[in-house]
Amino acid sequence: MSERPVPRCFALVPCAGVGARSGADRPKQYVQIAGKAMVVHTLTALALVPRLVETLVLLAPDDERFESTVAGATGLRWRAARCGGATRAETVANGLAVLAAHDAQAHDWVLVHDAARCLVRPQWVERLIEACWNDPVGGLLALPLADTLKLERAGRVVATLDRNDKWAAQTPQMFRVGLLQQALAKAGPTATDEASAVEALGHAPALVRGELENFKLTHPGDFDLAQRLLRTLA
Residue 150 lies in a domain: no
What pLDDT does residue 147 have?
A: 93
Q: 25 is in which domain, residue-wise? A: 9-135+172-202+216-233
**Burial bucket for residue 10 (CB in 10 Å: 0-12, 13-18, 19+):** buried
Residue 224 lies in a domain: yes
Residue 163 lies in a domain: no
What pLDDT does residue 4 have?
A: 67
The string of DSSP codes covering 84-108 is: --SSHHHHHHHHHHHHHHTT--TTS
Cα–Cα distance for residue pair 46/180, rounded to 1 Å = 20
The enclosing domain of 178 has a CATH number of 3.90.550.10
What pLDDT does residue 3 have?
A: 62
Identity of residue 115: A
Residue 166 lies in a domain: no
Phi, psi of 116 (to 5 degrees): -80, 0
What pLDDT does residue 101 have?
A: 96
Q: How many residues make up the chain in this entry?
A: 234
Q: What is the mean pLDDT of each run of 10 residues along the chain (234 residues)?
A: 79 83 73 94 97 97 95 91 95 97 96 97 98 97 95 96 94 98 95 96 98 94 93 74
Q: Do 200 and 132 contact (CB within 8 A), yes or no?
A: no
What pLDDT does residue 232 have?
A: 81
pTM of the model: 0.94
Domain count across the chain: 1
Identity of residue 16: A
